[in-house]
Amino acid sequence: MDSFRQGNIVKPYERLDREQIDHLHRASMEILTDPGIWCYNAKAAELFGTHGATVDKEEGGGSPCWRVRIPEKLIMEAISRAPSHIVLGARDRSNRLDINAAVPRVYFGTGSETNVWLETEMEEYVAAAGGESRLLPRFIEKRGSTQLLARAARLAEQLEHLDFFIRPVNIQDEDITEANHDVNKFFASLNNITKHVQAGLTSLDALDDVVKMAEIIAGGSEALRENPIVSFIACVFKSPLQLVNDTADKVFAIVDKGLPLVISSSPQGGSSAPIQESGMVAQINAEILTGIALTQLIKAKTPVMYGSVPVRARLDDLNDLYGCPEFNQYNVDCAQMARFYGLPCYSSTGVANAKVPGMQAAVEKLFSHLYMAASGAQYIHYAFGLLDRTNTFSPLQAVLDNEQIGMAKHCMRPAVINGETTAEAVDMERKVMQTTHRLFTRHTRKPMRAGLVSEPYRFESKDMQDRVLEKAHARLQELEARPARHLEDEIIDQIYDAVPGLLERLRT
């Protein structure tokens, strides 16, 4: 049955005009021929070479490196083979994502791999004068773990505006090693959420086991390709313009498995890319297109997304600066470039520089959530719970973001204005103006029941206090108390039998 998460089809906000897109395209193509890219992967360099790129060994330096100058023809022919329409599967088929470059249907999800999980406890404080009491948050930092990742997945299952899951916290348990990292992170996710699960691969050696796990859950090899419940992120470029050896190896292997992947790049404007919009977008576009071309040279029609994560440096310490206008500008430009090439776009939104939930985080996230919802990028990650740039995941913040994204999605709903609705409106005007009270309130019932009228902010207070965090915390507790949608016991047993390295404590 063809059922998918609904997403939001938006009328895309277009920051760039066609002439500006052409300028950026030309600049990207020029960058790829001169200076070209620095390719640290022999197989990739050879593949580009056999398809018309100029490949020269770079002398000196540590790791073997080839300077690859890629002609426009190679790039354009290769990316034309990439499918514009892909399906990302899910344990619950109604949670699948229908991703089409030609349709600006927007989905929001989590990311990235933060190290810190921010727990919130509400504590009662009594005013010295007057004795009035209030609940205020106390924040506790915890190192990410498999149990916390499982908790994040269970919460993500319950957030209605969250469409897909990228692990938001790095697993740092003492018994997690490089060898068992991937299987445990995928299992902790898949056993706790029925939405699409996506992650990077820590170790290439784990790919077979991860795919085996996904095949058991999906119901076999063919069933997994038809309903790919997992997909992968490959950040194949280290900006500027350096194609990384081990990630390129992972790209070869993932493509070989026939599963979807994202080719992502995350240059920082002001350090690893120009801070100027034209330079940033031209460079990231060149990097992503090269990665996508590589996937299609390996195997045509590989399902792949244009993964743009352009960020900006803050100029006082050169850390990433989110929640700033340039982050939105870079990202919306990339969404337009992806649309220009007919490629589905993986984009970014909603990261806060703030270290804890509060007004700063709300301000920084709001502009980005709303702006990127309008971009028409199909698959927008980073949207839930990220604080302190991408270093902290807060489940409380994820609950707050869920409400904010819900409102952004509602804002972006298409206008329902046609002959029928305007005729209804005129009729209503006539009817109401015949009454003494001239109120339209009664006529709000139909759209209200149809879900067309938005609700007030869930965490509003009716008294003179701001109780947003207190109310969101209560909501978080309510969501976390709901039962998890685990895999069936029989499936779990099969996975534990077939996949080595899984931690016993993750069974439930």
User: Residue 230's beta-bridge partner residues?
Assistant: 197
The answer to whether the peptide bond before residue 395 is cis (omega within 30 degrees of 0) is no
Residue with smaller CB distance to another protein, 443 or 485: 443
User: Residue 38's beta-bridge partner residues?
Assistant: 67, 242
CB of 434 to another protein, least distance (A): 11
Q: Report how far apart, in Å, the C-alpha atoms of 491 and of each of 168, 220, 488 are.
A: 25, 12, 5
Cα distance between residue 390 and residue 354, in whole Å:
10
CB of 156 to another protein, least distance (A): 29
Report DSSP state, residue 303.
Answer: -
Residue with smaller CB distance to another protein, 138 or 438: 438
CB of 427 to another protein, least distance (A): 9
Residue with smaller CB distance to another protein, 102 or 428: 428
> Residue 124 is inside which H or E element, if any?
strand 116-126
CB of 446 to another protein, least distance (A): 5
User: Residue 142's beta-bridge partner residues?
Assistant: 117
CB of 1 to another protein, least distance (A): 25
Residue with smaller CB distance to another protein, 123 or 420: 420
What Rg do the C-alpha atoms of the chain give, in angstroms?
Answer: 24
CB of 458 to another protein, least distance (A): 15
Residue with smaller CB distance to another protein, 67 or 410: 410
306 contacts 286 by C-beta, under 8 angstroms: no
Residue with smaller CB distance to another protein, 138 or 449: 449
13 contacts 349 by C-beta, under 8 angstroms: no
CB of 130 to another protein, least distance (A): 22
Residue with smaller CB distance to another protein, 43 or 410: 410
Residues within the interface to another protein (CB under 8 A): 435-439, 441-446, 448-449
**Sheet order of strands, 65-69 included:** 54-58, 65-69, 37-39, 242-243, 237-238
**Sheet order of strands, 320-321 included:** 268-269, 311-313, 320-321
Residue with smaller CB distance to another protein, 318 or 439: 439
Tokens standing for 13? 């906000």
- Count CB atoms within 10 A of the CB of residue 415: 7
CB of 443 to another protein, least distance (A): 8
Please, how many CA atoms are within 13 Å of residue 400, restricted to the half-sphere of its CB? 31
